[in-house]
Amino acid sequence: MPIDKETTSKTSPPSEAVNDFHRNSDVDARKESQHHTLGNRPGNASPGDHVHDGQNGIALLDGVSFTLSRTANVASILDQICDALEKIGAVNNTTA
């Protein structure tokens, strides 16, 4: 939101007022919230050291399973792997 320089005070509000605003600010309530805590829930911000292993971040392939026998139909398994990778951003340029 642009700041209206004609109606905005040139001095900062007292620190007590700023603390009151922060104390009452929404945290993690929704993605548009002013503040976010670190974590792996939908309203959280991700910590800088997350690695998508399911420990300190959501595992990238959480909920993905591959079916069929490895010896019976390698092409089908490869298709499943490619489909799973596409869902997390990979580009599938394989050909039949």
Cα distances (angstroms) measured from residue 50 to each of 1, 77, 78: 32, 29, 28
Among residues of the chain, what percentage have pLDDT more than 90? 0
Determine the Cα–Cα distance for residues 61 and 80; give it in Å rounded to an integer. 12
29 and 52 housed in the same domain: yes
52 and 64 housed in the same domain: no
Whether pLDDT at 9 is above 70: no
Average pLDDT taken over every residue of the chain: 77
72 and 53 housed in the same domain: no
21 and 54 housed in the same domain: yes
In a domain, 31, yes or no: yes
pLDDT digits (tens, 9 = 90+) for 44-79: 787 777 777 677 667 778 788 877 776 777 788 888
In a domain, 29, yes or no: yes
Residues 6+ apart with CB under 8 A from 31: 42, 43
18 and 52 housed in the same domain: yes
User: What's the pLDDT score for residue 2?
Assistant: 55
| Count: domains in the chain | 2
19 and 43 housed in the same domain: yes
**Nearest residue to 66 (alpha-carbon basis) of 83, 85, 50, 80:** 80
65 and 77 housed in the same domain: yes
Q: Which range marks the domain in which residue 48 is found?
A: 13-59
User: What's the pLDDT score for residue 15?
Assistant: 87
- pTM tops 0.75, yes or no: no
Whether pLDDT at 6 is above 80: no
17 and 54 housed in the same domain: yes
Whether pLDDT at 16 is above 80: yes
9 three-class SS? coil
